[in-house]
Amino acid sequence: MNDCIPICRGTRYSRHPAFAGAPGQAVCDWKGVSGAPGDTVCDWSVGVNLRSLRLLLVLGLVGFLPACAWSPFRYEEPKGPVEPLVEDIEGSRFVLGKDDSIVGQLATVKMKEGDSLPDVARHFGLGLEGIGEANPDLDLWAPRPGSRVILPMQFVLPDAPRKGIVVNLAAMRLFYFPAKKKGEVVTHPVGIGREGRSTPTGEMLVERKAKHPTWHVPASIRKDHERKGDPLPAVVLPGPDNPLGDYAIYLSRPSYLIHGTNKPYGIGLRASNGCVRLYPEDIETLYRDVPVKTPVRIVNQPYLIGWRNGELYLEAHRPHEELNAKQLKKNLMAALKKIEKKHERKLDWPKIERVLSEALGVPIPIFENSENFDDLVRKAVALKYPDELYGQPKPPAMTDSGWYITALESGDELSAQRLAAVLNHQGPQIPARVVASENGRFKVIAGPFKDSKATKAAAKRMKIDLDITGDIVSPKERVSLK
């Protein structure tokens, strides 16, 4: 059983200068919960690039982060009369004017007990990194009930022809401009290639499409899995273990696809082997709408300039490691100076520097005396909490005949809640819950599983993906869970 809880400094949701190391790097110390009698203390210090969160929910290295973030853009609850809540707003399909370069609007919603940011992100058509960037002060896995979450549902279109599919790797979003519906754009969050297996940029075409695709595993990926002790077959048939999901769009560039996933909570992360992943519900729509021979353009634009109602906006994302960040910033500044001169309006240059530094992924106006981030959030659409968050994983009820895995025992309830949330968001789900013990400690119990074989398979996944060694509990030993 693993009693190690990560206590991370310098995570992607923490921007305090005291946590700074090498640019884009962080050191994550995994330690047992301090102060709880009997807790094991282990110090696994590993250097990882948490700016990308590329292995979240895949390798679980930063799986259950504590809420240790700080940001100068600190949103405060509005004072005064409370505006009525709005039922819903459009988040994926928009009508474009000829000169429009920004779509959507900022929104907020309050969290409830048991929610996590991945749940909210999926329901509102956002990726995990996008919602995390906009909410650096919220706990990723166990946000405080009643917390107001900023939903970054406003997007600057990439600088590319409005034709076919355009994927912006930096924003981790796909934009589809239907040929038969001029002036319309459909947008979805995506997961993209991890560092070392980056999604390629350039122009391509949709070559063919397949429903319930079979995955022919590349030799390089099979070797990677063999090294981890998780061998893969040469061919993976359709089903819950197929990472392509239920729909695949094959591109003219060999070996690259736009497809679904069996790990939906990896959307909005750099976690794939180079393909572009979508939520299952989004790829189903895209598969239906996109014809063969549709042009596909993949770009990597972390700095996006857009206009709305005469105001100039800047949307900034952290540049990926394969880009020349200094040159990108130099090019941006030159373009902004030209705009300043042409329109004879002064830009707020200190504000521009803050926007670039924070990289919140939210379009922010940058002319002098324009609204700041707090102003935008105060004006954001306050949404009514939905009856149910789409796709939110919930563990089945415990049974006397079920098999279980004790993944953690700790004196800290919040840490236990985080780990349970991480397990529930694995793909496929490893059902888990927090059980209070009679001794005042808390156990994370995974299951129920139908038999010994299924339990051992889940335990293996926990070990390989999350480095958690759990204790298997048979039906006869179930009393030990109390």
Q: Whole-angstrom Cα distance, residue 38 to residue 34?
A: 10
Q: Which residue has the tokens 């694995």?
A: 426
Count CB neighbours of 38 within 10 A: 11
405-425 confidence digits (pLDDT tens): 999 999 999 999 999 999 999
Q: Note down the domain range covering 446.
A: 403-481
Chain CA centroid to CA 408, Å:
25
Residue 172, CA atoms < 13 Å, CB-side half-sphere: 36
E-assigned strand segments in 18-129: 26-31, 44-48, 93-95, 102-104, 107-110
Considering the domain boundaries, does residue 189 fall inside one?
A: no
Instruction: Report which of 309, 303, 299 is spatially closest to residue 355, judged by C-alpha positions.
Output: 303
Considering the domain boundaries, does residue 307 fall inside one?
A: no
Tokens of 422: 């991480």
131-142 confidence digits (pLDDT tens): 999 999 999 999
- 123 is a catalytic site residue: no
β-strand pairing of 102-104 with 311-316: unpaired
Considering the domain boundaries, does residue 28 fall inside one?
A: no
Average pLDDT rounded to a whole number, residues 241-267: 96
Considering the domain boundaries, does residue 264 fall inside one?
A: no
pLDDT band at 182 (very low <50, low <70, confident <90, very high): confident
195-241 confidence digits (pLDDT tens): 989 999 999 999 999 999 999 999 989 998 898 888 999 999 999 99
β-strand pairing of 26-31 with 471-473: unpaired
27-40 confidence digits (pLDDT tens): 233 333 333 333 32
Instruction: Report which of 23, 92, 87, 57 is spatially closest to residue 357, judged by C-alpha positions.
Output: 23
- 320 is a catalytic site residue: no
Question: What separation in angstroms does the CA of 123 have from each of 139, 236, 388?
Answer: 18, 29, 9
Q: Whole-angstrom Cα distance, residue 471 to residue 408?
A: 9
Considering the domain boundaries, does residue 387 fall inside one?
A: no
71, pLDDT greater than 90: no
Q: Look at the pTM and tell me if it is higher than 0.85.
A: no
CB 153 within 8 A of CB 382: no
Considering the domain boundaries, does residue 414 fall inside one?
A: yes
Radius of gyration of the chain, Cα coordinates, nearest whole angstrom: 23
H-helix or E-strand spanning residue 235 = strand 235-236
Tokens of 307: 């206009």
**Amino acid sitting at position 437:** S
Considering the domain boundaries, does residue 165 fall inside one?
A: no
Q: Whole-angstrom Cα distance, residue 279 to residue 265?
A: 8
Return the pLDDT at 206: 98
Domain containing residue 449: CATH number: 3.30.70.1070
Catalytic residue among 188, 259, 320, 425: 259
Q: Whole-angstrom Cα distance, residue 12 to residue 50?
A: 5
260, pLDDT greater than 90: yes
**Amino acid sitting at position 141:** W
Considering the domain boundaries, does residue 324 fall inside one?
A: no
What total number of domains does the chain contain?
1
**Amino acid sitting at position 464:** I
Catalytic residue among 4, 8, 28, 275: 275
Question: What separation in angstroms does the CA of 329 have from each of 17, 333, 410?
Answer: 21, 6, 46
